[in-house]
Amino acid sequence: MIKNLMGGLAATALLALPLTAASASAADRLPQPVAAPMTLTAGITALPVVEEVRDGYKRTSFKHWVDADKDGCNTRHEVLKAESRIAPTVDAGCRVTAGEWYSYYDGVTVTDPAGLDIDHMVPLAEAWDSGASAWTAQRREQYANDFDAPHSLAAVTARTNRSKADKDPQDWLPPLADARCTYISDWVSTKLRWQLSVDQAEQDALARIAEGCGQETVEYELAP
């Protein structure tokens, strides 16, 4: 399903602090929370602009597909169950074997979960570049398994997820043009939720795409 139509989270908005010198830390430049809805353009503006650094990144720094709530289902299968348009078939061990999913990146309907990846809206490497390198291992695990937010994870066709890889919106957008405004709204929502930054080229790309997105809004809650 198109992710920005999913409900369940109250909107929390952030206002941007004025940008300081380039040498200022990202923590000093993060937006401060206030209770108000947010337009997509305002959300993009609220993201702090900081140069990205990938030094030290390893995918294993983000432990993912864990069973965080100890109910026998790991995060991948939780997403598959939640996003199936029909009651999914779930075998022993919470293994989802059939259902119906809409991959909103490319507008494809999938019935075999083997053809789906669970995409981290903001890829793990991009999150590392944007502030997660300073987090604890526990915080990175929470990020990688963020099932509580409707925008953080998406069941999409494996080919689109692998085409995206760790690219940000200046280098990759969904092949379905009608999905792009939803996609950048979900991207901005995720970065605001986790108080991640953007680099200048990324912010410029987001702003350029947002010009054609009308009244698209950003909804999220700050991550606990």
72-114 pLDDT per residue, tens? 999 999 999 999 999 999 999 999 999 999 999 999 999 999 9
Q: What predicted TM-score, i.e. pTM, was given to this entire model?
A: 0.84
CB 31 within 8 A of CB 48: yes
Closest CA to 37 of 219, 221, 206: 219
The Cα 51–Cα 214 span in angstroms is 29
**Which is more confident, 20 or 91?**
91
**Which tens digits make up the pLDDT trace of 46-79?**
999 999 999 999 999 999 999 999 999 999 999 9
Q: What is the pLDDT of residue 20?
A: 34
Q: What is the pLDDT of residue 47?
A: 97
* 3-state SS assignment for residue 148: coil
What percent of the chain is modeled with pLDDT above 70?
Answer: 84
- Tell me the one-letter amino acid at 11: A
User: Which contacts of 32-36 are long-range, i.e. CB under 8 A and separated by 24 or more positions?
Assistant: 33/222
The domain segmentation of the chain, as residue ranges, is 3-218
Q: What is the pLDDT of residue 36?
A: 54
Q: What is the pLDDT of residue 190?
A: 97
Q: Is the pLDDT of residue 16 over 50?
A: no
- Tell me the one-letter amino acid at 158: A
Q: Give CA separation, 194 vs 102, 122, 151, 159, 188, in Å.
A: 26, 10, 12, 27, 10
What percent of the chain is modeled with pLDDT above 90?
Answer: 83
Ranges of beta strands (E only) in the chain are: 13-15, 32-34, 38-39, 89-91, 95-98, 101-103, 108-110, 116-120, 153-157, 217-218
Instruction: State phi, psi for 33 to the nearest 5 degrees.
Output: -75, 140
Q: Which of 17-26, 193-202, 212-221 is least confident?
A: 17-26
List residues bridging with 14 in a β-sheet.
33
- Please give the DSSP secondary-structure letter assigned to residue 49: B
**Which tens digits make up the pLDDT trace of 125-152?**
999 999 999 999 999 999 999 999 999 9
